Structure 1
Amino acid sequence: MRRAGVVILAGLLGAGCAAELPAAPNEVTTADGVVRGSVSGDAVVYQGIPFAQPPVGALRWTAPKPPQPWQGVRDATQPGPRCAQGVGQPGAPGETPASDSEDCLYLNVTTPSTAGTKRPVLVWVHGGGLRSGAGSDYDMRRFAAEQDVVVVTTNYRLGAFGFLDVPGLDGGGQFGLLDQQAALRWVRDNAAAFGGDPGNVTVAGESGGGDSVCAQLASPEAAGLFHRAVIQSGTCGDTSVVEAILPGAGPVLAAWKPAAVAEPLGVALAGSLGCTDPATAVDCLRGVPAPQLREGADKSGAYYSPTIGRGVLPESPGQAIAGGAIARVPVLTGIVEAEGALFLSSGGFAEKPLTEETFTGMVTAAAGPRAAEAIAAYTPKGGATFNNAWSRVVTDRAWSCANLRVFQGLSAENPTYAYEFADASAPNALAVIPEDLRGKATHGAELPYLFTLVRGQPALTAEQEELGRSMRATWAGFMRDGTPGPWPSFQDKAAITRLTTGGTTQVDADDFAAAHHCDIWAR
């Protein structure tokens, strides 16, 4: 029943006889058993392939275990369950559903429908703030077929299921990252069976997925599992998105937490769920039903994110980059022009706009001794709202300036290529952007230019489609040889490549810093 052996001969073309390439198989033998995918146009898609045992029962909050082999042919035409999570992007076109499943460590593979070998492999780590999303939210058929590459999208444990930490819990606060590494090991062992090159793997992600790539770059345990990295709107630095939005929130909402901060959060959650004895808290928590655990974590108000200082992450990615303790691989990394606008489109900001007094107080808390300068720089003019002004603060503090420092740090040791996606009319499937926050590209707006969003793929204009084709070719070129075509490296020319429907331009790093008031936000 394998399509691998079927060769379709073309008709005579003039004086010669041309033959099409043989069709790729829709049955593939992996290290654990045979999977049967589905042929869809120019691509073959294999979904719901287990890369680890279900982390349920006694395996909750343990490192992922290798999957159990199976007999016969496993149906791989439907995605596996989403990892336990609440509703993602509520009310947005790309709203994602809630789930209480812990049996969720599955990945999906998309290949061109023509047979091939040694194709570059992209491993895509989904975003969602480490608390929502799934690999199946992305349809990779267009990207794989158009660019002749293999694409893997993966799930990983989220929220308290992936990042809970309590005293004495081995691997505490790092299970989601361990899942990602297990998926990368699966790719190393199985990519060739799908026509991919296990020696040419690019790990990539956006938002929380970008943060995850930062972590894998800094993780000694990920060494050798990938050969290039793409970070889209990540926060490798030590200012988290939540901290930037809510100044003064403190280390509880930090992106990267030492155990001294992470463990008390876990203890508090355990206590709220009736697990009050520290000596038995882990066993007690493993007995809490998934829906109850998820709801308790959601109500806690804590941000469950990676613990640093041990195991997978000896230090934060920002510290590792500054000290040169990262994987020596080429890096393509960038942001969008108005990252912060998406985060002020909900969460109470849209319903209760900022007043001048509140805005001034928030800027003061964020800028500290540079407060007067920051207030002068960001106070809105020409009819702009204080929400718009605060979105600029969030963008500059958490992304533009923080990432400029990352560009500089990465380029000291790694070939680094920096970009800013700046299509001012780019639609966004992740939120309904209020009128006063429109006019620039917002967080996640580049995604539908690269891939097809299963939920909420927006319509693009002809010019935007052309930009998308150019970006896909650039990303695939980077996957092939570690360079994004004609873009200059940050080492050779300290500049950021701006991506618009009018083409690419270069912005000098000093000019970029001035435009985003990076002197105010210097650490």
Structure 2
Amino acid sequence: MATKEAIQGAAAAALIFGAGLSAAPSPAAADAAPYGLTVITDRGGIRGVAEEGVRRFRGIPYAKPPVGGLRWRLPQEPAAWQGVRQAKAPGPSCPQTGELAGHSSEDCLYLNVTAPAAGPGKLPVVVWLHGGGFSSGSGADYDPARMVKGGRVVVVTVNSRLGVFGFFGHPDLPDSGTYGLADQQAALRWVRGNITAFGGDPSRVLLAGESSGGISVCGQLASPAAAGLFQRAAIQSGSCKPDWTGELSAPGDGASQLWIDRQTLQRRGRTAAKLLPKPPKCADAESLACLRGVSAKSLLALNGPFHSPAFHTPLVPQAPWTSFAKGRFTKVPVIEGATRDEHTLFAALFDLKDEAAYRAQLAKAFGAAKAVRIAAEYPVSRYRSPALAFAAVGTDFTAACPAAHEARLLAEHVPVYAYEFADPNPPGPDLGMPLAAYHGSELLSLFDMGQSYRELKPAQRTLAAQMIRYWTDFAATGDPNARGLPKWEKFDGDSALSLAPGAISPTDYTKNHNCRFWATLE
């Protein structure tokens, strides 16, 4: 799915409009006061910086560098250090192509903590998992200062292994396809052991993520090893739907698996060396030892086949949707939702000039028989263009209805709060068609990404402040309802809270997105 990786990476880039203390030190007592700029962790002292009314601690190692013999191994505890480590700059992003490639390294298992400048401790904690198709992005892309100040929380953004480094599989690797997820759990263990020193409460941790970050949250809910590491979860535009049909997210894009079973992945990895560019090339295509010796830059050529997390593994014993259906998951309150127009960002890539092109593309994606039914349900005449009709199909099929189905499964066991981000005109890239509430557009309300916040109009800034209150109240109590905000009812199987500037209100989510039609089509 190399094409889709590129699309998701481009989408992320478009949003960034501009971006046991055995060897512990003993800093000066005054400098190491609680919630100051020098903090003692279980590995040693770190010193952050004060910026914009918050304290920032960047580039904190939460595991040993997964290099050399630690490539494709579970994350290991980081080494302790002497003295005070400077925590002023983020660590490198994990190996990837695209805009962040020049700042990436296999030595990438770092996290960033942003905390209020002062005030009482024991604040709720938000651990954020970034998106990017499991092949791009970095925790440092997301500036949580507004969330920290507006919601009185501590926010932790995380790097975890991506692509072939995080999700490679091979018969000789029992943890195939789960190294990136294991990294996230290591970061959560770090939070449990250290966040008190930053003013956070390890018993009130919200694990949240968008796109592949949301899919990661699904995996952590289904992973017994993650139980107790977080107490609330937020899945944003990242349901655990098993797969996507081809020719829907990008022209020529094949069908993709969002999750893959371990045996299939390991068979794929057995001959992965044959796919390497020349040079290098392993003489024995099945040699794991040879692959461990290949440079990180060369291994990126294998990202396409290896960017899906695996189940039937020690970390994720069952597919997440199976775990949810059987009630075998970590029972915590959940926020689940998507944007109203998820697929516009992808539909803009297709050349759909007229109805004939639209119908032909539907046939490529769904087959001739289903395409006829879909075209009747989503006629071009109902939309401003064939591309917007195709976007509605993609939104409902890939995002909205899977999210509703997943929320329904979860709601049988835990409180679920469903939402739809519905801003009709958020800042975004110019792709030649109206994007409306495109994939990832809600992120601009929760985080600063480059110059994005400056692009928000006053009503959008008000919505952003309201959303931050919903999310951070949820982190604090497991219930997003805060005094003075419109009531957010628990999910009842159909309804969700529509989030738009000046218009927060309940909406019939499954009706709006034709979910009953899609249930008959499967």
Query: What TM-score, normalized by structure 1, do the two folds share?
Result: 0.87
TM-aligned CA deviation for residue 81 of structure 1: 0.6
Matches within 5 A, 1:8-157: 24-87=35-98, 96-157=100-161
Query: Counterparts of 1:495 and 1:381 in 2: how far apart (Å)?
Result: 27
| 1:187 alignment partner in structure 2 | 191
2:505 partner SS: strand
2:299 matched to 1:293? yes
- With over 3 angstroms needed to count, the CA separation of the structure-2 counterparts of 1:84 and 1:390, relative to structure 1, is same
Amino acid corresponding to residue 508 of structure 2 in structure 1? D
Query: Counterparts of 1:272 and 1:82 in 2: how far apart (Å)?
Result: 24
TM-aligned CA deviation for residue 414 of structure 1: 1.1
| 2:6 alignment partner in structure 1 | none
Amino acid corresponding to residue 467 of structure 1 in structure 2? L
| 1:490 alignment partner in structure 2 | 491
- Which stretches in structure 1 are left out of the alignment for 5+ residues? 7-21, 89-95
Q: Deviations over 1:348-381 (max 9, x none)?
A: x2xx446644532442354455432211122312
Query: Counterparts of 2:248 and 2:414 in 1: how far apart (Å)?
Result: 28
Amino acid corresponding to residue 315 of structure 1 in structure 2? Q
| 1:169 alignment partner in structure 2 | 173
TM-aligned CA deviation for residue 244 of structure 1: 4.6
TM-aligned CA deviation for residue 242 of structure 1: 6.2
Matches within 5 A, 1:86-485: 86-87=97-98, 96-240=100-244, 244-245=248-249, 253-273=256-276, 274-275=281-282, 277=284, 281-294=287-300, 296-298=301-303, 301-302=304-305, 304-346=307-349, 349=350, 352-353=351-352, 356-367=355-366, 369-381=369-381, 384-428=384-428, 431-435=429-433, 437-438=434-435, 440-454=436-450, 457=453, 459-485=455-481
TM-aligned CA deviation for residue 240 of structure 1: 3.6
Contact 2:37 2:55 in 1 (8 A): yes
Contact 2:246 2:254 in 1 (8 A): no
Q: Deviations over 1:370-420 (max 9, x none)?
A: 432211122312673332222211111111111110111110101000000
- With over 3 angstroms needed to count, the CA separation of the structure-2 counterparts of 1:200 and 1:4, relative to structure 1, is farther
1:390 partner SS: helix
TM-aligned CA deviation for residue 522 of structure 1: 5.3
- With over 3 angstroms needed to count, the CA separation of the structure-2 counterparts of 1:509 and 1:420, relative to structure 1, is closer
1:46 partner SS: strand
Query: Counterparts of 2:353 and 2:328 in 1: how far apart (Å)?
Result: 41
- With over 3 angstroms needed to count, the CA separation of the structure-2 counterparts of 1:494 and 1:384, relative to structure 1, is closer
Query: Counterparts of 2:126 and 2:490 in 1: how far apart (Å)?
Result: 21
Contact 2:275 2:302 in 1 (8 A): no
2:170 partner SS: coil
| Identity among equivalent pairs (%) | 39
Query: What TM-score, normalized by structure 2, do the two folds share?
Result: 0.87
1:167 partner SS: coil
- With over 3 angstroms needed to count, the CA separation of the structure-2 counterparts of 1:478 and 1:4, relative to structure 1, is farther
- With over 3 angstroms needed to count, the CA separation of the structure-2 counterparts of 1:242 and 1:419, relative to structure 1, is farther
TM-aligned CA deviation for residue 308 of structure 1: 1.2
- With over 3 angstroms needed to count, the CA separation of the structure-2 counterparts of 1:384 and 1:518, relative to structure 1, is same
Contact 1:25 1:115 in 2 (8 A): no
TM-aligned CA deviation for residue 249 of structure 1: 6.7
TM-aligned CA deviation for residue 344 of structure 1: 2.8
Query: Counterparts of 2:211 and 2:88 in 1: how far apart (Å)?
Result: 28
Query: Counterparts of 1:432 and 1:4 in 2: how far apart (Å)?
Result: 53
- With over 3 angstroms needed to count, the CA separation of the structure-2 counterparts of 1:4 and 1:342, relative to structure 1, is farther
| 2:14 alignment partner in structure 1 | none
Query: Counterparts of 2:217 and 2:353 in 1: how far apart (Å)?
Result: 34
TM-aligned CA deviation for residue 333 of structure 1: 1.1
- With over 3 angstroms needed to count, the CA separation of the structure-2 counterparts of 1:144 and 1:137, relative to structure 1, is same
- With over 3 angstroms needed to count, the CA separation of the structure-2 counterparts of 1:419 and 1:476, relative to structure 1, is same
Q: Deviations over 1:1-48 (max 9, x none)?
A: 989959xxxxxxxxxxxxxxx993000000000000001131000000
Contact 2:210 2:440 in 1 (8 A): yes
TM-aligned CA deviation for residue 316 of structure 1: 1.8
Contact 2:168 2:306 in 1 (8 A): no
TM-aligned CA deviation for residue 126 of structure 1: 0.6
Contact 2:246 2:365 in 1 (8 A): no
- With over 3 angstroms needed to count, the CA separation of the structure-2 counterparts of 1:318 and 1:455, relative to structure 1, is farther
Amino acid corresponding to residue 277 of structure 1 in structure 2? D
1:410 partner SS: helix
Contact 1:200 1:227 in 2 (8 A): yes
Contact 2:427 2:452 in 1 (8 A): no
Amino acid corresponding to residue 302 of structure 2 in structure 1? A
Q: Deviations over 1:192-246 (max 9, x none)?
A: 1111111111100011111111110111111111000011101212234867536
Q: Which moved more, 1:367-376 or 1:45-54?
A: 367-376
Query: Counterparts of 1:4 and 1:434 in 2: how far apart (Å)?
Result: 58
2:88 partner SS: coil
The count of corresponding residues between Structure 1 and Structure 2 is: 487
Q: Deviations over 1:162-209 (max 9, x none)?
A: 111121212111100000000000000001111111111110001111
Query: Counterparts of 1:380 and 1:272 in 2: how far apart (Å)?
Result: 42
Q: CA RMSD, aligned part only? A: 2.6
Q: Deviations over 1:435-476 (max 9, x none)?
A: 2x43x2100111111111147555100000000000001101
Query: Counterparts of 2:520 and 2:80 in 1: how far apart (Å)?
Result: 52
Contact 1:4 1:115 in 2 (8 A): no
Amino acid corresponding to residue 289 of structure 1 in structure 2? S
Query: Counterparts of 1:316 and 1:248 in 2: how far apart (Å)?
Result: 28
1:143 partner SS: helix
Query: Counterparts of 1:243 and 1:116 in 2: how far apart (Å)?
Result: 52
